[in-house]
């Protein structure tokens, strides 16, 4: 009865002899390194574009609304400011959650303060 059970190795494909297996593994390792290099390069290029200074005056009003100084204006700040405008204008909860995630906050996080807020109703 024990001989009838499958061990799970039936579907494995042999890599051939030891030299063939080593060559296949080496080729896979080189492809993996190349893939990681390309992803890193894409991340660096994206970051470079986001950090570029904003030279288009069309968006000065958006950034001035959030009191961003002229020398600090870049595409990252512009996109964050535009996202904040959308959140304020539409009340888009999904956009708010994404914005908070970018800021390193979560809508379910507890406030970072020990103070208790007291509401005084003396009107």
Arithmetic mean of pLDDT, 85-107:
86
- Looking at the structure, do residues 60 and 78 belong to the same domain, yes or no? yes
Q: Is residue 116 part of a domain?
A: no
Per the structure, the complete domain to which residue 21 belongs is given by 15-51
- Looking at the structure, do residues 24 and 70 belong to the same domain, yes or no? no
Q: Whole-angstrom Cα distance, residue 31 to residue 17?
A: 21
pLDDT tens for each residue of 54-78 = 887 888 888 888 888 878 888 888 8
Q: Is residue 33 part of a domain?
A: yes
Q: Whole-angstrom Cα distance, residue 21 to residue 115?
A: 64
User: 83 with 92: CB under 8 angstroms?
Assistant: no
> Which of 51, 39, 37 has its CA nearest to residue 79?
51
Longest dimension (CA), the chain: 88
Arithmetic mean of pLDDT, 78-99:
89
User: 73 with 49: CB under 8 angstroms?
Assistant: no
Q: Which residues is 115 bridged to in the sheet? A: none
Inter-axis angle of helices 75-90 and 93-102, to 10 degrees?
Answer: 150
pLDDT tier, 8 (very low <50, low <70, confident <90, very high otherwise): confident
- Sorted by sequence, the CB contacts under 8 Å of residue 80 that are 6+ apart come out as 99, 102
Q: How many domains does the chain divide into?
A: 2
Q: Is residue 6 part of a domain?
A: no
């Amino acid at each position: 009865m024990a001989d009838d059970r499958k061990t799970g190795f039936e579907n494995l494909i042999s890599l051939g002899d030891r030299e063939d297996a080593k060559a296949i593994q080496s080729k896979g390792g080189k492809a993996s390194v190349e893939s990681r290099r390309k992803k890193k390069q894409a991340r660096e290029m994206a970051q470079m574009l986001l950090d570029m200074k904003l030279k288009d005056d069309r968006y000065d009003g958006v950034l001035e609304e959030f009191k961003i100084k002229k020398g600090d204006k870049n595409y990252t700040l512009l996109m964050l400011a535009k996202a904040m405008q959308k959140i304020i204008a539409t009340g888009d909860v999904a956009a708010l959650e994404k914005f908070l995630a970018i800021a390193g906050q979560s809508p379910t996080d507890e406030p970072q303060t020990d103070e208790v807020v007291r509401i005084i109703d003396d009107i």
